[in-house]
């Protein structure tokens, strides 16, 4: 079977700022018949809190992730990190120096077999350990789909909560990078959002990555944690040195506004923030929300925002058809229908394999987002004026 490998020279350039990108409660899964998906809170099992303003270091995202892994390995002797090439630091250097400090029995390389990596993690977690599995690129998580969907996600449910693999966290770099092509640029988060029993988490920045990863590892449910590879080196900010967690399933309002609500996650939020700045020159006030956790997502916060603004735009890198933006659009249309002043819009990737030289045309850019925002706002004002004579 022919498999892929990046040269280290190419990997070292994966987070270069091409095309002008700028940085910018845990619970136990319980089946609930006849109702919406439900996570029962378990504050005794995972503590979630916003980071206090303490001692910080200015670091990039891969360093913040390395700090989080170091914190877990140092504080929990039953935690393990494993995956392809993690022993020497991984292709993105997220596991640098971990094996030297914690030993080969806790940080170790695996064969090039994603199904085996996740399957091993499920067994390790089911015995009460913290299993932190790395998939080298999210594009290659699909061989492990059966293990995640049919084993990890259903383990607690099928045993009536007698046993579980809640200690499993699957890390995977995802998304565009400027020159990754169709095998190193995909955004597969929507595949996993269709699966009850797992959580899907995506950070937007170094401080978010550290807090959300620590919360994911300590959460009593299996978590798929996607890391925007474009931001590994590009996103730099002050990150608390101490151990802290950020709440899962709790979205964050990054920017308050009154005319339109924008919802996104991961690296796309930097693009959306630029678009908000652009249309603010035209007098359009945007409320920008980082979803942070896609499943289960913070529907209430988004509803409150849309009820205030009357408009919603969702943007993500994944193809538009079947993307998670469609779920948000359908849900908000159903719950906020009488308050919407315009149809929900989606600005997403195209329904094509991820291109190489045509990546700039595929991506949901600042101009695409700005154009839709301005169009929705202008059309609504014209429609309202015509109705009022």
Please report, for the chain, how many H helices and E strands are present, in that order. 14, 16
184 is known as an active-site residue: yes
One domain for residues 268 and 355: yes
The catalytic position among 84, 114, 151, 274 is: 114
Asked, for residue 36, whether it belongs to a domain, the answer is no
Q: Is residue 20's pLDDT more than 90?
A: no
Spatial contact of 142 and 188, defined as CB atoms under 8 Å apart = yes
Q: Is residue 25's pLDDT more than 50?
A: no
Asked, for residue 21, whether it belongs to a domain, the answer is no
pLDDT tens digits, one per residue of 140-168: 999 999 999 999 999 999 999 999 999 99
Q: Is residue 236's pLDDT more than 80?
A: yes
Q: How confident is the model at residue 54, as a pLDDT?
A: 82
The band of 193, judged by pLDDT with boundaries at 50, 70 and 90, is very high
One domain for residues 286 and 312: yes
322-330: average pLDDT: 98
One domain for residues 308 and 184: no
> Token pair for residue 68?
């989080």
Asked, for residue 203, whether it belongs to a domain, the answer is yes
Q: How confident is the model at residue 378, as a pLDDT?
A: 58
pLDDT tens digits, one per residue of 50-102: 555 689 999 999 999 999 999 999 999 999 999 999 999 999 999 999 999 99
The catalytic position among 84, 134, 184, 189 is: 184
Host domain of residue 199 = 56-240
243-255: average pLDDT: 98
The band of 41, judged by pLDDT with boundaries at 50, 70 and 90, is very low
* Cα-based distances in Å from 133 to 24, 114, 137, 197, 365: 27, 9, 12, 18, 32
> Token pair for residue 99?
């094996």
The whole-angstrom separation of Cα 255 and Cα 232 is: 23
One domain for residues 65 and 201: yes
17-35: average pLDDT: 36
Spatial contact of 284 and 317, defined as CB atoms under 8 Å apart = no
The residue among 321 and 22 whose pLDDT is bigger is 321
374 is known as an active-site residue: no
Asked, for residue 11, whether it belongs to a domain, the answer is no
For a pLDDT cut of 70, what percent of the chain falls above it?
Answer: 82
One domain for residues 199 and 282: no
Helix boundaries (H) for the chain: 8-11, 61-75, 98-102, 114-126, 145-146, 155-158, 189-193, 206-218, 231-234, 268-280, 299-309, 324-335, 359-362, 366-387
One domain for residues 259 and 367: yes
Asked, for residue 161, whether it belongs to a domain, the answer is yes
Q: Where among 220, 240, 260 does a domain terminate?
A: 240
One domain for residues 281 and 337: yes
251-277: average pLDDT: 97
Q: Is residue 15's pLDDT more than 60?
A: no
What is the chain's mean pLDDT, rounded?
Answer: 86
The band of 46, judged by pLDDT with boundaries at 50, 70 and 90, is very low
Q: Where among 240, 275, 302 does a domain terminate?
A: 240
One domain for residues 194 and 317: no
pLDDT tens digits, one per residue of 285-322: 999 999 999 999 999 999 999 999 999 999 999 999 99
Asked, for residue 12, whether it belongs to a domain, the answer is no
Q: Lowest mean pLDDT: which of 33-47, 104-118, 254-268, 325-339?
A: 33-47
Counted domains in the chain: 2
Q: How confident is the model at residue 171, as a pLDDT?
A: 98
> Token pair for residue 232?
């590994």
Q: Lowest mean pLDDT: which of 10-19, 247-256, 296-305?
A: 10-19
């Amino acid at each position: 079977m022919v498999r892929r490998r990046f040269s280290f020279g190419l990997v070292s350039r994966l987070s270069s700022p091409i095309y002008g990108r700028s940085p910018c409660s845990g619970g136990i899964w319980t089946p609930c018949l006849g109702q919406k998906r439900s996570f029962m809170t378990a504050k005794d099992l995972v503590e979630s809190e916003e980071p206090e303003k303490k001692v910080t270091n200015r670091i990039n995202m891969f360093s913040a992730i390395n700090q989080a892994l170091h914190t877990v390995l140092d504080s929990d002797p039953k935690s393990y990190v494993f995956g392809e090439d993690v022993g020497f630091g991984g292709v993105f250097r997220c596991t640098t120096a971990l094996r030297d400090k914690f030993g080969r029995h806790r940080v170790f390389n695996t064969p090039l077999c994603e199904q085996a990596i996740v399957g091993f993690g499920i067994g390790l977690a089911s015995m009460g350990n913290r299993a932190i599995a790395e998939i080298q690129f999210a594009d290659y998580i699909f061989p492990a789909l059966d293990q995640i969907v049919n084993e990890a996600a259903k383990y607690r449910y099928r045993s009536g909560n007698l046993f579980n693999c809640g200690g499993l966290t699957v890390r995977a770099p995802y998304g565009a990078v400027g020159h990754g092509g169709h095998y190193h640029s995909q955004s597969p988060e929507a595949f996993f959002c269709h699966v009850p029993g797992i959580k899907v988490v995506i950070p937007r920045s170094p401080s978010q990555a550290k807090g959300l990863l620590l919360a994911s590892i300590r959460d009593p449910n299996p978590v798929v944690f996607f890391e925007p590879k474009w931001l590994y080196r590009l996103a730099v900010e002050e990150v608390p040195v101490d151990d802290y967690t950020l709440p899962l399933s709790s979205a964050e309002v990054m920017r308050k506004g009154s005319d339109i609500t924008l919802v996104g996650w991961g690296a796309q939020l930097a693009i959306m923030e630029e678009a908000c700045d652009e249309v603010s020159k035209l007098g359009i006030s945007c409320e920008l929300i980082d979803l942070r956790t896609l499943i289960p997502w913070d529907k209430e916060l988004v509803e409150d925002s849309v009820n205030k603004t009357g408009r919603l735009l969702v943007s993500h890198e994944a193809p538009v058809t079947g993307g998670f933006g469609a779920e948000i659009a359908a849900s908000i249309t159903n719950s906020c229908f009488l308050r919407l002043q315009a149809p929900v819009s989606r600005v997403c990737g195209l329904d094509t394999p991820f291109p190489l030289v045509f990546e700039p045309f595929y991506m949901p850019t600042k101009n695409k987002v700005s154009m839709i925002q301005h169009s929705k706002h202008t059309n609504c004002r014209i429609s309202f004026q015509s109705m009022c004579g």
